[in-house]
Amino acid sequence: AQSVTQPDIHITVSEGASLELRCNYSYGATPYLFWYVQSPGQGLQLLLKYFSGDTLVQGIKGFEAEFKRSQSSFNLRKPSVHWSDAAEYFCAVGASIGGGADGLTFGKGTHLIIQP
């Protein structure tokens, strides 16, 4: 079965500084990988996704992520964070081409705190 690990429960970053959130996955075949963001008491919004092709994917709000098969990682990055980026971030993996219809496996999330 697939699994996702987000090693950092909380991360604190100063406004304007760069950000990297870590995500490691476990899956036997080529995974379908996603990053979602959740503001307090809200649903999840898709930031970006990787299915195949270029291993560096661009998303909304200035985020990007890089798929590294050798490291089983899909880390999320942003060159300069804004106070509005404070939220919970979830990495997720889909099982297969039918993974979208079978549900996603989520990591436990990383809580991002922005210092002024």
Partner 1 sequence: DGGITQSPKYLFRKEGQNVTLSCEQNLNHDAMYWYRQDPGQGLRLIYYSQIVNDFQKGDIAEGYSVSREKKESFPLTVTSAQKNPTAFYLCASSIAGSPGTQYFGPGTRLLVL
Which residues would be at the binding site for partner 1 (CB under 8 A)? 9, 32, 34, 36, 41-46, 49, 51, 90, 92-94, 96-109
| Min separation Cβ 67 and partner 1, Å | 14
Residue type, 29: A
Contact 64, 97 (CB under 8 A): no
- Do β-strands 87-94 and 104-106 pair in parallel, antiparallel, or remain unpaired? antiparallel
* CB closer to partner 1 out of 81 and 109: 109
| Min separation Cβ 15 and partner 1, Å | 25
* CB closer to partner 1 out of 16 and 103: 103
| Min separation Cβ 17 and partner 1, Å | 25
| Min separation Cβ 30 and partner 1, Å | 11
3-state SS, one letter per residue, for 14-55: ECCCCEEECCEEECCCCCEEEEEEECCCCCEEEEEEECCCCC
* CB closer to partner 1 out of 8 and 15: 8
Nearest to 3 by CA among 40, 33, 46: 33
